[in-house]
Amino acid sequence: MNFHGEALLMQAEEIPAIANDIGVESAALRAVLAVESSGLGFDKAGRPKALFERHYFYKMLKDDPDALQQAVDAGLAYPKWGEKPYPKGSDAVYAEIEAACGINTNAALLSVSWGLGQIMGNNFKLAGCSTVNQMVEEAMTSEANQLRHMANFIKSAGLLDELQAKNWAGFARGYNGPGYAKNAYDVKLADAYNKFA
């Protein structure tokens, strides 16, 4: 997989339309986009914005000790988040993704956060897709697909009430995990919302 698709950019009316579909303010949806991906779904090479999560790759390979050891030896997997810094720049991220695909493609794709909403591949069903490959292909096609993945995830993960109420801490906990406060994720969301409201 070369991770290049049509890379269609979002049209101005798509954010308000999808926000309306799920019953949230457009400014609230824009806030999540701004914090997650600076509002951009593709890198300069036309690939979906992506972040390879080495601790997820570790979990995904637990049932395959040989592949797990290969990933650990290559520095692509470790048991806990934050053991090493993320690589700098999209090319470095995609180099990791491609190396991980060389070990186990499905596990690698499940271990990446994709697109505008940075939805983890292992959440493909919550994002409204049948397979992680479908999710990645759709993310490669357009930012509108990426936004739909994010909206579907928010609904499926039970985070719609928090986003509608602008309960930024509650939303951040569910969307970004229990360590959200460490990076002031909720504060960033509130600030971004205030900018767009």
Q: What confidence score (pLDDT) does residue 177 get?
A: 87
What's the one-letter identity of residue 142? Answer: S
Q: Which tokens hold the place of 93?
A: 């991220």
- The Cα 173–Cα 177 span in angstroms is 5
Q: What confidence score (pLDDT) does residue 191 get?
A: 97
Q: What confidence score (pLDDT) does residue 74 get?
A: 97
**Helix, strand, coil shares of the chain as percentages rounded to 5?**
60, 5, 35
Q: What confidence score (pLDDT) does residue 178 get?
A: 86
Q: Phi and psi for 77 in degrees, rounded to 5?
A: -150, 140
- Which positions of the chain have pLDDT values less than 50? none
Cα dist. 72→52, 62, 78, 119 in Å?
Answer: 14, 11, 6, 24
Q: What confidence score (pLDDT) does residue 84 get?
A: 82
111-136 pLDDT, tens per residue? 999 999 999 999 999 999 999 999 99
Model-wide pTM > 0.85: yes
Q: What confidence score (pLDDT) does residue 86 get?
A: 84
- Helical (H) or strand (E) element with 61: none
23-46 pLDDT, tens per residue? 999 999 999 999 998 889 999 999
Q: What confidence score (pLDDT) does residue 179 get?
A: 85
Q: What confidence score (pLDDT) does residue 39 get?
A: 85
- The Cα 111–Cα 130 span in angstroms is 16
- The Cα 40–Cα 136 span in angstroms is 16
Q: What confidence score (pLDDT) does residue 87 get?
A: 85
